[in-house]
Structure 1
Amino acid sequence: MAGEIKSYRDLMAWQKAYVLGKQIYALAGKLPDVERFGLMASLRRLSYSVASHIAQGCGRGNTQDYVWFLKQARGELYKLDTQLLFALDFRCIEETDYESAKSFLDESERVFAGLIRSLGG
């Protein structure tokens, strides 16, 4: 059946988080070396954290845990948003890179909100 969810990888929220993660990871690599252990490390950790929370929640086997992990992932999106703004304000990234990431981040958040709502969270 088309559209059937067999794995967390079939979820639009996970797919968007995965693409966002790759985008953020690459963007973090553009930061100056002085940020290697600061903002760069933090952005890179967050880059894979969002998709990982979705996968972990999906594997829990019950809706309440799943929604909890989705909310954790959404919190990580907000953290990403804040850290990207710091990177922009500190002139570590270009405004075009920020706008591109922010647009995708906002789209991901809308998908998350819809999924959480649909699960009663």
Structure 2
Amino acid sequence: MGSRSFQDLIVWQKAHELVLYVYRVTQRFPKEEMYCLTSQLRRAAVSVPANIAEGFVKQSDADKLRFFNISQGSLEECRYYFLLVSDLGYLSDDLKEIQNLATEVSRLLHAYMREIRKST
């Protein structure tokens, strides 16, 4: 694990990439969604790397795992929003790519949490 900053974590880097992707695709959503789906999806996406960053500095493994679990919940919320906006026709071209990125973040987050559990 030897990372000196949350920014060194590959899981954080990929989660940050997901946020940037979400911001790019939501710019194309209809204006009437600005305070609903656009806002909700962006908040959920930002929560993923934000909670990884916050959990990184926690002293106890239990605290770290709690924040990483919150990240997992936010990531699953994003996955639902991806399906919803796809069904609404707002995210057809980018759906597969954004789902793949979310899956990669999920896999990395699970692996990181598994390593923390092993060390206790």
* TM-score (ref. length: structure 1): 0.92
3-state SS, counterpart of residue 42 of structure 2: helix
- Structure 2 segments unaligned to the other structure (5+ residues): none
Quote the Cα distance in structure 2 between the aligned partners of 1:25 and 1:47.
9
What residue in structure 2 maps to residue 63 of structure 1? 61
Aligned residues: 118
Q: Superposition pairs for residues 18-33 of structure 1, below 5 Å? A: 18-33=16-31
Identity %: 25
How far the C-alpha of 1:4 sits from its partner, in A, is 3.8
3-state SS, counterpart of residue 117 of structure 2: coil
What residue in structure 2 maps to residue 8 of structure 1? 6
Q: What is the letter of the counterpart of residue 108 of structure 1?
A: V
Q: Is the 8 A contact 2:45 2:75 kept in 1?
A: no
What residue in structure 1 maps to residue 114 of structure 2? 117
Quote the Cα distance in structure 2 between the aligned partners of 1:56 and 1:4.
17
What residue in structure 1 maps to residue 75 of structure 2? 77
How far the C-alpha of 1:47 sits from its partner, in A, is 2.2
CA RMSD across the alignment: 1.4
What residue in structure 2 maps to residue 37 of structure 1? 35
What residue in structure 2 maps to residue 105 of structure 1? 102
Quote the Cα distance in structure 1 between the aligned partners of 2:11 and 2:60.
18
Quote the Cα distance in structure 1 between the aligned partners of 2:109 and 2:46.
16
> Cα deviations across residues 37-62 of structure 1 (Å, max 9, x unaligned)?
11011111122111000011112222
3-state SS, counterpart of residue 24 of structure 2: helix
> Cα deviations across residues 58-114 of structure 1 (Å, max 9, x unaligned)?
1222211001100110111100000010000011122x2111100100011000111
3-state SS, counterpart of residue 89 of structure 2: coil
- Structure 1 segments unaligned to the other structure (5+ residues): none
* TM-score (ref. length: structure 2): 0.93
Q: Which runs of 4+ in 1 moved over 4 A?
A: none
3-state SS, counterpart of residue 52 of structure 1: helix
